[in-house]
Amino acid sequence: MDAANFRYDTPHGPIYGYLSNEGLRELRLPDPAHPVQPYLLHSRPNHILGRRLMRLFADYFAGVAVDFGEFPLDPAFGTTFQRAVWDAARDVPHGQTVTYGKLAARVGSPSAARAVGSALGENPFCIVVPCHRILATGGKLGGFSAGLDWKRRLLRLEGIEGWKE
Catalytic residue numbers read 131
Rounded Cα gap, residues 119 and 115, in angstroms: 6
**How many other C-beta atoms can be found within 10 angstroms of the C-beta atom of residue 45?**
19
CB 89 within 8 A of CB 133: yes
CB 73 within 8 A of CB 129: yes
Using DSSP's 3-state secondary structure scheme, residue 117 falls into helix
Rounded Cα gap, residues 18 and 3, in angstroms: 8
Q: Which of 163, 92, 81 is nearest to 128 (CA)?
A: 92
Rounded Cα gap, residues 97 and 81, in angstroms: 20
